[in-house]
């Protein structure tokens, strides 16, 4: 709308002026609004029937034009429109309070609210005012005022009003009184989906995640109304570290929703991604692309699903998302670019990760840390260190995580002196207190270089209690360098610290077995048996086309199972001639010799490699992701297989990325 003074309606035309006022909705309309306002002041006698609506319209219009002080001035003015205070009513206040709340000016809103009652009955707050005031109390954590308002509301009998109740629920929840919120919720006679959402999100925000899930389940079970996008958004924060059954429950509710909005998809994706359900996350995303009618992934969707793609090395899905992002011109977007960079790095595509990094117009410490960590995990410690120096050169302050990345890079590449120097500068220059992760990197670094006693001394002088990862790193080093004395000390500490931890049993019992401490071998194994702990079943995941395939040790469930085993037999037969002889040490000592070899040859990573060799054309890199550290036998086999098939094999385990080309691995055989 473009109105200027000359376009103003003819004198006397009050209705036209009021229409003009109502049409002013943006800051650009302010001049017209002011002119119309001035004209109205001349025309409208306080007794004029339009005086009261005019006042409301003016306040609304000024608020819509983001001129809140002007709106306030109209409310407070003693202009002819307000002679005798007859035209200022609660409605005027409600309009302005709503505008202030919408602009997050909660304290101003509350000040105005408090000033209403003293002005007399016409200005008493009503059932429109109270929810707004409670909302502002929630946002500014004004529990005391909130309590007063709520009790006033109850006296007036307005507490049965649903809007009032919803805002009381969220006020109590946000002011740290979730149980009071529940009392309000519980006392409601008629609840709708908004009531349930308010309570779920109330508990979730207060950190009472189990209560939030309980209410969610109760809501779904009642089947009075159906969860909506708001419900999904409310439950999301409570599902950070969720039980498997709860995730399943939410998924069922999600599937039963007839109309799924983008928010619901994004919430479900985030629940999967945050809980490590990478396969489920990627599958859901593919389903969304296929049957999400009218729903288009946005940057939140993509930033949520990229990390699971990286975790699974789902390179082709990730690549397609990247193309999607480029096509929709969603870049630059730091969040997305960092997610892309990480995805490529985790898929073992260092080159693509670097391309994303180089193309970024702005980079933060997270971007730098990602690329440093990518080079480190690929065994390119030198490059990682160079990048770290470059980051410092650009004046960026490294944080604790950046130091973990560069120290891990030094340890992966065996850069002992550089690593020591960084560790020193971390405290002396950047005043960052080292955490267990940093110590683990240092123990790894020293251990790799064969400085086992130094690593042990390092642990004994640590100012914090060494955790299982620190001892685990030492145990690993002792295994590789066959240091029995310190190895047994490390094993004892680990066993004492985390008797229920599954990850270390094999290492532990092997260490004891090698030391001839059979009694300890027995006690490790009896702990395992008593607690019902089994070795975490090794699983390898590969992507083929748009599907993710999972393999477990010795499994025969795959439709191509027969071909896979045939291929594997053929491969193992060929590499046996090259010196491959299944290492016997990698599994527990009391497995029969023959059995052991049988087990080793069907490790999930071997099955996954054979599967990809069958199903991809010559020269295609083989990407396998594992949920454990790869074993020495598979590592050796993979190196030989890369030679005889002339394929690059990218084996990602929980700790690093083994980039194997022509029989040589980027890890230098230390992991
Ligand atoms: Zn293996
Ligand atoms: Zn390796």
Same domain as 493, residue 585: no
| Predicted pLDDT of residue 194 | 93
Q: Which ligand is nearest to the CA of 666?
A: 2
Task: Say yes or no: 475 and 543 in one domain.
Answer: no
Let me know: does 477 contact 444? Beta carbons within 8 Å.
yes
Contact predicate 406/384, CB 8 Å: yes
Domain boundary among 484, 503, 531: 531
- Asked if residue 544 and residue 654 are part of one domain, the reply reads yes
Tell me, yes or no, whether 285 lies in a domain. no
Q: Which residues surround ligand 2, an ion (CB under 5 A)?
A: 658, 665, 667
Q: Does residue 480 fall inside a structural domain?
A: yes
Which pLDDT score, from 0 to 100, does residue 3 have?
42
Identify which ligand lies nearest to the alpha carbon of 348: 2
pLDDT band at 291 (very low <50, low <70, confident <90, very high): confident
User: Does 125 reside within a domain?
Assistant: no
Considering the domain boundaries, does residue 522 fall inside one? Answer: yes
Which ligand sits closest to the CA of 655?
2
Mean pLDDT of 226-231: 91
Q: Residue 547 — very low, low, confident or very high, per pLDDT cuts 50/70/90?
A: confident
* 95 belongs to a structural domain: no
- 623 C-alpha vs ligand 1 centroid, how far in Å? 15
Residue 5 has pLDDT above 60, yes or no: no
Residues 522 and 562 in one domain: no
Structural domain ending residue among the three candidates 500, 515, 531? 531
The rounded distance, in Å, linking the Cα atoms of 405 and 423 is 12
**Ligand 1 centroid distance, CA of 649 (Å):** 14
Q: Using the mean position of ligand 1's atoms as its centre, give its distance from the Cα of residue 486 in Å.
A: 26
Least confident of 112-116, 381-385, 548-552: 548-552
Rounded average pLDDT over 452-458 = 95
What pTM was estimated for this model as a whole? 0.78
What's the CA dihedral at 129, 135, 141, 146 to 10 degrees? 40
How many angstroms separate the alpha carbon of residue 274 from the centre of ligand 2?
Answer: 28
Q: 500 and 458 in one domain?
A: yes
Q: Within this chain, do residues 527 and 555 fall inside the same structural domain, yes or no?
A: no
Mind listing the pLDDT tens digit for each residue in 23-82? 999 999 999 999 999 988 888 776 777 888 888 899 999 999 999 999 998 888 755 454
Q: How far is the CA of 313 from the centre of ligand 1 (A)?
A: 19
**pLDDT computed for residue 534 by the predictor:** 54
Work out how many domains the chain is built from and give that number: 2
Distance in Å, CA 550 to ligand 1 centroid: 15
Do 451 and 514 fall into the same domain? yes
Q: Which ligand is nearest to the CA of 657?
A: 2
Pick the ligand that lies closest to the CA of residue 606.
1
Distance CA 29, CA 7 (A): 13
Contact 21, 57 (CB under 8 A): yes
User: If you average pLDDT over residues 466-482, what whole number do you get?
Assistant: 89
Least distant ligand from the CA of 379: 2
Please indicate, yes or no, whether residues 561 and 653 belong to a single structural domain of this protein. Answer: yes
Same domain, 495 and 517: yes
Give the CA diameter of the chain.
107
Which listed ligand is nearest to 378 at the C-alpha?
A: 2
**Of 580, 559, 586, 556, nearest in space to 642 by CA:** 580
Q: Is residue 656 part of a domain?
A: yes
Q: How far apart are CA 543 and CA 624, in angstroms?
A: 8
Closest by Cα among 547, 563, 564, 534 to 628? 534
Q: Give the integer Cα–Cα distance in Å for 210 and 249.
A: 13
Reported as a single tens digit per residue, the pLDDT across 145-192 is 999 999 999 998 888 889 999 999 999 999 999 999 999 999 998 899
| CATH number, domain with residue 501 | 1.25.40
Can you tell me the distance from the alpha carbon of 286 to that of 545, in angstroms, rounded to the nearest whole number? 12
Q: Does residue 618 share a domain with residue 545?
A: yes
Q: Calculate how far, in angstroms, residue 632's C-alpha sits from the geometric centre of ligand 1.
A: 7
Strand-by-strand arrangement of the 622-626 sheet? 547-552, 539-544, 622-626, 649-652, 657-661, 664-665
Ligand nearest to the CA of 659: 2
Rounded distance from Cα 499 to ligand 1 centre (Å) = 24
Alpha-carbon distance of 641 to 658, in angstroms, equals 14
- Mind listing the pLDDT tens digit for each residue in 602-651? 888 999 999 999 999 999 999 999 888 888 888 999 999 999 999 999 99
Same domain, 522 and 544: no
Name the nearest CA neighbour of 80 among 119, 50, 41. 41
90-123 pLDDT, tens digit each: 899 999 999 999 999 999 999 999 999 988 888 8
pLDDT at 398: 95
Q: In terms of DSSP bridges, do strands 657-661 and 649-652 run parallel, antiparallel, or are they unpaired?
A: antiparallel
Distances in Å between the Cα of 543 and the Cα atoms of 110, 635, 637, 655 are 56, 20, 21, 20
pLDDT given for residue 234 in this prediction? 94
Q: Which ligand is nearest to the CA of 535?
A: 1
Give the structural domain span for 472: 438-531
Q: Could you tell me how far CA 642 lies from the centroid of its own chain?
A: 36
Please name which ligand lies nearest the alpha carbon of 601. Answer: 1
CB 402 within 8 A of CB 368: yes
The whole-number pLDDT of residue 274 equals 94
Cβ atoms of 221 and 252 within 8 Å: the answer is: no
Does residue 540 come out as left (phi exceeding 0), alpha (psi in the -120 to 50 range) or beta?
beta
Of 481, 512, 531, which one is at a domain's C-terminal end? 531
| Within-domain flag for 506 | yes
Is the confidence at residue 535, as pLDDT, over 60?
no
Q: Cα–Cα distance between 607 and 556 in angstroms, integer?
A: 10
Predicted confidence at residue 639, as pLDDT, reads 95
Q: Tell which wins on pLDDT, 410 or 3.
A: 410
Please write the tens of the pLDDT for every residue from 568-603: 999 999 998 888 887 655 444 343 333 445 577 788
How far is the centre of ligand 2, averaged over its atoms, from the C-alpha of 519 (Å)? 34
pLDDT at 501 over 70: no
Per-residue H/E/C for 522-568 = HHHHHHHHHCCCCCCCCEEEEEECCEEEEEECCCCCCCCHHHHHHHH
Residues 557 and 625 in one domain: yes
Q: Do residues 14 and 43 lie in contact, with contact meaning Cβ atoms separated by under 8 Å? A: yes
Is residue 152 situated within a structural domain?
Answer: no
So what's the pLDDT on residue 580? 86
DSSP calls for 249-306: HHHHHHHH-SS--HHHHHHHHHHHHHTT-HHHHHHHHHHHHHH-TT----HHHHHHHH
Considering the chain, what is the average pLDDT of its residues? 87
- pLDDT band of residue 443 (cuts 50, 70, 90) is very high
pLDDT at 532: 57
Average the pLDDT over each of 198-207, 222-231, 239-248, 429-438 and give the range with the smallest value: 222-231
């Amino acid at each position: 709308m473009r109105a200027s003074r000359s376009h103003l309606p003819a004198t006397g035309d009050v209705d036209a002026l009021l229409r003009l006022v109502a049409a002013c909705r943006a800051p650009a309309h302010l001049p017209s609004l002011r002119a119309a306002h001035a004209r109205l002041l001349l025309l409208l006698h306080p007794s004029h029937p339009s005086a009261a609506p005019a006042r409301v319209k003016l306040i609304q219009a000024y608020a819509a034009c983001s001129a809140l002080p002007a709106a306030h001035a109209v409310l407070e003015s003693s202009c002819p429109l307000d002679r005798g205070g007859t035209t200022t009513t609660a409605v005027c206040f409600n309009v302005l309070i709503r505008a202030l709340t919408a602009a997050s000016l909660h304290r101003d809103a509350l000040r105005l609210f408090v000033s209403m009652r003293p002005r007399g009955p016409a200005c008493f707050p009503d059932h429109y005012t109270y929810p707004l005031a409670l909302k502002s109390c929630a946002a500014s954590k004004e529990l005391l005022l909130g309590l007063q308002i709520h009790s006033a509301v109850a006296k007036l009998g307005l507490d049965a009003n649903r809007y009032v109740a919803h805002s009381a629920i969220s006020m109590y929840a946000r002011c740290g009184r979730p149980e009071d919120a529940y009392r309000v919720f519980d006392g409601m006679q008629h609840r709708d989906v908004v009531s349930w959402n308010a309570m779920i999100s109330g508990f979730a925000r207060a950190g009472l995640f189990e209560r939030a899930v309980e209410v969610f389940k109760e809501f779904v079970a009642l089947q009075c109304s159906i969860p909506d996008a708001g419900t999904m958004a409310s439950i999301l924060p409570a599902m950070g570290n969720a039980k498997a059954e709860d995730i399943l429950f939410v998924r069922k509710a999600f599937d039963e929703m007839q109309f799924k909005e983008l928010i619901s998809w994004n919430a479900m994706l985030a629940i999967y991604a945050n809980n490590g359900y990478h396969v489920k996350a990627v599958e859901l995303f593919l389903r969304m692309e296929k049957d999400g009618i009218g729903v288009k992934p946005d940057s939140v969707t993509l930033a949520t699903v990229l990390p699971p793609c990286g975790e699974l090395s789902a390179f082709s899905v990730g690549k397609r998302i990247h193309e999607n992002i480029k096509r929709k011109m969603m870049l630059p977007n730091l969040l997305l670019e960092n997610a892309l960079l990480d995805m490529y790095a985790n898929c073992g595509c260092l080159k693509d990760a670097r391309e994303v990094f180089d193309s970024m117009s702005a980079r933060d410490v997270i971007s730098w840390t990602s690329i440093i960590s990518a080079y480190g995990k690929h065994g390119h410690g030198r490059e990682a260190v160079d990048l770290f120096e470059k980051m410092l050169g650009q004046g960026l302050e490294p944080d604790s995580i950046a130091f973990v990345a560069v120290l891990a890079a030094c340890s992966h590449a065996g850069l002992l002196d550089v690593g020591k120097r960084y560790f020193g500068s971390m405290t002396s220059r950047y005043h960052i207190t080292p955490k267990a992760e940093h110590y683990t990197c240092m123990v790894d670094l020293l251990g790799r270089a064969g400085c086992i006693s130094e690593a042990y001394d390092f642990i004994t002088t640590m100012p914090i209690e060494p955790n299982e990862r620190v001892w685990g790193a030492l145990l690993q080093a002792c295994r590789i360098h066959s240091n029995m004395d310190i190895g047994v000390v490390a094993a004892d500490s680990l066993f004492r610290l985390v008797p229920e931890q599954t990850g270390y049993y094999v290492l532990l019992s092997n260490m004891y077995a090698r030391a001839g401490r059979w009694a300890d071998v027995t006690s490790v194994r009896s702990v395992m048996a008593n607690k019902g702990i089994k070795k975490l079943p090794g699983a390898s995941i590969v992507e083929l086309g748009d599907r993710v395939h999972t393999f477990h040790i010795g499994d025969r469930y795959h439709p191509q199972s027969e071909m896979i085993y045939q291929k594997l037999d053929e491969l193992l037969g060929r590499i046996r001639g090259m010196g491959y002889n299944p290492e016997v040490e990698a599994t527990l000592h009391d497995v029969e010799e023959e059995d052991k070899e049988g087990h080793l040859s069907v490790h999930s990573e071997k099955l996954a490699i054979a599967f990809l060799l069958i199903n991809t054309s010559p020269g295609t890199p083989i990407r396998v992701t594992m949920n454990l550290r790869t074993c020495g036998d598979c590592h050796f086999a993979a190196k030989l297989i890369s030679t005889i098939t002339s394929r690059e094999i990218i084996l990602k385990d929980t700790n690093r990325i083994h980039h194997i080309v022509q029989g040589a691995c980027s890890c230098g055989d230390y992991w």
